[in-house]
Amino acid sequence: MRTALLGAVALLALTAAAPSPGTAGAVVHIRDDAFVPAALTVQTGEKVTFVNDDDDAHTATAADASWDSEGLNQGQKWTHAFSKAGKVAYHCTVHPMMHGTIVVRSAK
Amino acid sequence: MKRRDFVGHVAWTGAGLLYVLGADGIVRATADASPKAFGFVQISDSHIGYTGPANDDVRGTLGKAVAAVNAMAVQPAFVIHTGDVTHLSKATEFDDARAILSTLRAPLITIPGEHDVIGAEGPKRYAAAFARKEAAGRGWSAWDQGGIHFVALINVGEGETMGMLGDEQLSWLANDLAARKADTPVVVFGHVPLFAAAPEWGWTTTDGTKAIALLRRFNAVTVLNGHIHQVLEHQDGAIRFATARATAFPQAVPGTPNAKPGPLKVASGSLLGVLGYRTVEVAGRAAWQDRTLAQS
């Protein structure tokens, strides 16, 4: 029983530290021509889902071209798993004044 | 000039001949002594693939514009679509747009908007659907027709910046214009306004002033743009600018309190009155009429 409990605690800790590809992850809403939140910190392996709430078309496109949602209509979403630690800036190619950043921290 | 006069002028464009029925019943061609005009049509911002509340049938409204142009008694020399043919640069959107635009009786020329070059595949799909074989660089082109020098610029897809021509295109433009005489009428097309229509909304071309400087020595320059889904006219010396209505949906007038750019839903039944196309004639200087789809 004690071993099983320790195992469960260890599993929970592991899950919290390094979300598996199956976890829901964070959500960035695209609303009123802005990324909400505009700055987000996640851990390696975590997924981020971008949801377009606007009637206008938007994209979430990495400045270094490493990922790109391409065009999203209202209600459409796109999910990306961040595997590499670092800071990445992104923007909407249809509205280049829209900017966001995602900091990816190494999972311990 | 009234529409009937415009049509009459355009009828003789190109050949420069007037066909006269003589007293003997024989039709003879003579030199046309009247001032010659050259006619074309501008269509813009069709956003094929948009499905929101501002227009639930963007294919239908583009089809209405095409039908109105096809119904012109004298066909324009060409129809220029000044960009945002599609909404999300999807393959099916380009297919749908081509299917509708291919029914135009007049030759079609297009330039891309930022909605036509989304993602890695967008520019390739646009090129596959609409690229001109005579285009240079990323697709910009120039040609002489009817005594007018036409220039089709591309001010989207230049890196991260929308409303940007880029040094390569500006260098090409400088070389292209250098060979033209100052009294040559010049007509320039681009998607995003070349002038500062509303910079806070991205309705300007960042390096547009460099292109305007190159155009300044000409006596009659007309710059026709899309992007802002409404008619807005501007003059800078001998250079006249005009943006066009969309065939998809209107956008807010810059400066409207609490407004933002994007699809604007209008009262039911009034949509066709705010969508349209533009007929243009050039006889030295350009003159144009903006027509709504409610008029056609």
pTM for the predicted model, two decimal places: 0.85
Residues in B closer than 8 angstroms to A61, CB to CB, are 119
Q: What tens-digit pLDDT sequence spans chain A (108 residues)?
A: 444 444 444 444 444 344 444 456 899 999 999 999 999 999 999 999 999 999 999 999 999 999 999 999 999 999 999 999 999 999 999 998 899 999 999 987
Cα separation, B49 vs B96, whole angstroms: 9
For chain A, helix (H) and strand (E) counts, in that order, are 1, 8
**Cβ pairs bridging A and B (under 8 Å):** 66
Task: Enter the ipTM.
Answer: 0.80
Q: How far away is chain A from the Cα of B156, in angstroms, using its nearest Cα?
A: 9
Q: Which amino acid is at B131?
A: A
- Measured CB to CB, residues of chain A less than 8 Å from chain B are 32-33, 54-57, 59, 61, 63, 68, 70-74, 91, 93-97
CA dihedral B155, B146, B105, B79 (to 10 degrees): 20
pLDDT in tens, B168-223: 999 999 999 999 999 999 999 999 999 999 998 989 999 999 999 999 999 999 99
Residues in A closer than 8 angstroms to B115, CB to CB, are 57, 71, 94
Q: Which CATH fold topology does B37-292 show? A: Purple Acid Phosphatase; chain A, domain 2 (3.60.21)
Residues in B closer than 8 angstroms to A93, CB to CB, are 114, 117-119, 160, 162
Contact B16, B31 (CB under 8 A): yes
Contact B77, B14 (CB under 8 A): yes
What domains can be seen in chain A, in order of their start residue? 2-105 (2.60.40.420)
